[in-house]
Structure 1
């Protein structure tokens, strides 16, 4: 009886993660580095949803995509995009028969945790003027004081004029900041838990300190700031009620590490998957089946709202594509198309952090540098608030990725009873699509600066392209 080669048997029978850098050749390593240069540029110009939509349109238009409102009929190979309220966008390449074949869909979200200005944010106190904020999404509040902040967003003036604002990104711009106690006076603060150390009502942004030269005015500094805003933008205090202004990290996406293998930036969650999915659509060579790339909003607060994954705009835009393709449009037909379709919820996951081993399931976590992560289900504790991909669908994806030599791994969001989180996958599942979560592992998720591996970013792009071409 021949002696068993247990080394080969181990390689054949066991699941082992692979380090992407060890698996890639020089050509792929160079391609990964170049891909991430484009990604960093996208991040620097897309810190809030409206900016991401603008950047996506610019990328798509360079590739020949047209606004669906400018197109009367659609045929195989046509490339279109559709915009919903400037915060939600679809990119699509039309296949041969949408009604018969369904579509392949990548859906990601372009919102991320940050600080939003309150409706009446401006106030003066003790020689300083502040903006009051309301945090958006899941943040650790103690991470936001003492870091440089930039202001992004839009204001609709009383006369109907829209003003776009970006302050704090250029070297010559001022920045803004939330204060914190010095250690010498922080004895009681330091006794509090991290959750209690900085409260939501203490996340007030310093924006100025010079008063107007008139002793008759009660709030001299506040009026001075309003004068600046009025001269620069035509804005009055009442206009804040019709504004959408966000405070975000005033830092550029930067290479991290001596080997430049990582990217530190604001907003990886989930713009890393949004960018990779759009580039995968642009580079896909599949002309047979309709391919769609959705960027949605409001995921960080439960996907509530008319620009979210729960919005019926998704059904509406599918109906428009059917109609312009000359195919029947009715309620039943739309949902039959959805039933024939497959999707990836292109969203990030938590990467294993060796400094916090106690919250991770080391066997089931995603690891930095080990490829794009496939999560069969998300949710929390007893699989609440999740969808779960079927074995049949996961097998199809495995076969595609292995055949295309995509380096991928499994992922999961922490130990069962330590928390967890949901994604937009559950809202696609409600529409009866096959769907699974697949994205990039992130360190510092939801922090003002997050970390991803360039190798994982590149593998996500390759996986998404393979999904479009082979599904």
Structure 2
């Protein structure tokens, strides 16, 4: 695929999203694309033997992945050029003892993961996907599962029973009113574990219900990603925040030059939406450990090599940005209203919700100029709170120069979000300049 083919890149993003209903599937799809491009997997439990020019990747927890195209120059001299994004999105996830029988219905209990726009999950055809951990040979082993069919629904309450809904708003109690319906009790008993075993068998995994030791299962909207608009300029898809940034960084890494002086890397973390505090989140030692190990085998071996490498390095924290909303423009800072279709957004916050400063802003702006792209700027209104990203966390972990950027979008944290097709190619072009 040509890195300048705007429509092909937009369509490829939608295919990437549809193949990635959960962070587990996003990592699997990312690894598949990496291996197609000649990357090989490294195991954190083993010693590494590497040489300049190699292409490698590492996964952790099945939901975070890092890939590196090793440069020709020692990393303590040339540093790392990195892009960080996240694989997770707000959604509904099953509780351990999920099955509920109530008023003649069979339901599944869920927890709310991240800052979900709850009302957007009502009256949707929902399916179930994630990881099931089986006992195999006396040891636990995870397998991915995806039902790929309508299974669940969170039915709305009829207006006749909620007369004020259009004037007072829809108020949903996540414990009581977000419990999806799975079936009718009168239709026969349903065993979730038996359902999982049956679905696993379609992929060639043989097991009994008693073999299931645990699971991590997410609900997702079954409607495929699509394009819309008078000129098909818009993208409608789940999980654009932040699989769109994962796709842009991965595509830039894979379509960059065959040989490069500095080591290029992409790190896709899990758990950003819930604070990044996990074994594979941005607040973990995952990235630092990887960079330390790479420095040991790709530098002059001096004790301060890692610290010199960090001083030479740069990180782009890529997470989607807020486009100005035509129906709520007053909620946006007047001089910082990014437009969809107008290119990447540099995000700033003096209280360090974003890691951007004048130097990192200038660095990214220079990359945009090289790519023939004009960046936009986003600042939250002074009287509103500001969201955050992996940028400040990673900068604090590594002491590395960092800029926060993202493509503009609407409906952030909805079950279906909205972005612009042409922005995909623009971001890829700029990130390719980072890796050049």
TM-score (norm 2): 0.89
Asked if the contact 2:3/2:255 (under 8 Å) is kept, the reply is no
**1:419 aligned residue:** 385
Quick one: which of 177, 183, 187 aligns to 1:202? 177
1:441 aligned partner: 408
Structure 2: distance between partners of 1:201 and 1:237: 30
Q: Map of 1:25-64 to 2, 5 A cutoff?
A: 31-64=5-38
When Rg is computed on C-alpha atoms for both structures, the one with the higher figure is: 1
Aligned length: 421
Inter-partner Cα distance in structure 2 for 1:250 and 1:394: 38
Contact 2:3 2:425 in 1 (8 A): no
In structure 1, C-alpha distance between the alignment counterparts of 2:91 and 2:302, rounded to whole Å? 40
Q: 1:272 maps to which residue?
A: 244
- Work out which of the residue numbers 428, 431, 444 in structure 1 matches 2:394: 428
CA shift, 1:415, in A, is: 1.5
Query: How far apart in 2 are the matches of 1:323 and 1:86?
Result: 25
Tell me if structure 2 keeps the 8 A contact 1:128–1:221: no
Give me the whole-angstrom Cα distance separating, in 1, the residues matched to 2:167 and 2:135: 47
Q: Matches of residues 68-467 of structure 1 in structure 2 within 5 Å? A: 68-69=42-43, 72-95=48-71, 96-157=73-134, 160-167=140-147, 169=148, 173-187=149-163, 193-194=169-170, 196-211=171-186, 221-222=189-190, 227-229=194-196, 231-233=198-200, 234=207, 236=209, 239=212, 242-285=214-257, 287-325=260-298, 327-328=300-301, 332-375=304-347, 377-378=348-349, 383-412=350-379, 414-430=380-396, 431-467=398-434
SS at match of 2:276: coil
- The DSSP-based 3-state class of the residue aligned with 2:301 is coil
Q: 1:401: Cα distance to partner?
A: 1.8
Q: Residue 157 of structure 1 contacts residue 235 of structure 1 at CA under 8 Å; is this kept in 2? A: no
Which deviates more, 154-163 or 447-456? 154-163
Q: Cα distance 1:57–1:221, how it changes in 2: closer, same or farther (>3 A)? A: same
Cα deviation for residue 199 of structure 1 reads 3.5
Question: Matched residue of 1:354: which SS?
Answer: coil
Report if the CA contact (8 A) 1:124-1:221 is conserved.
no
Matched-pair contact (CA < 8 Å) for 2:6–2:421? yes
Could you say which residue in structure 2 is the equivalent of 1:21? none
| 1:205-236 superposed Cα distances (whole Å, 9 cap, x missing partner) | 11122547xxxxxxx6355x665455555564
Name the stretch that deviates more: 316-325 or 33-42.
316-325
Higher mean C-alpha deviation, range 66-75 or range 358-367: 66-75
Alignment check: 8 A CA contact 2:295 2:309 kept = no
* Whole-angstrom CA distance in 1 between matches of 2:419 and 2:47: 38
Q: Distance in 2 between matches of 1:187 and 1:42?
A: 41
Q: CA deviation at 1:193?
A: 4.6
Cα distance change on mapping 1:236 and 1:33 into 2, 3 Å = same
Structure 1 window deviating more from structure 2 (397-406 vs 286-295): it is 397-406
Q: Which moved more, 1:312-321 or 1:342-351?
A: 312-321
User: Which 10-residue stretch deviates more, 28-37 or 297-306?
Assistant: 28-37
1:399, CA displacement in angstroms? 2.5
Partners of 2:4 and 2:306 lie apart in 1 by 43
- Unaligned runs of at least 5 residues, structure 1: 1-27, 213-219
> Structure 1 length as normaliser, TM-score?
0.83
SS of equivalent to 1:421: coil
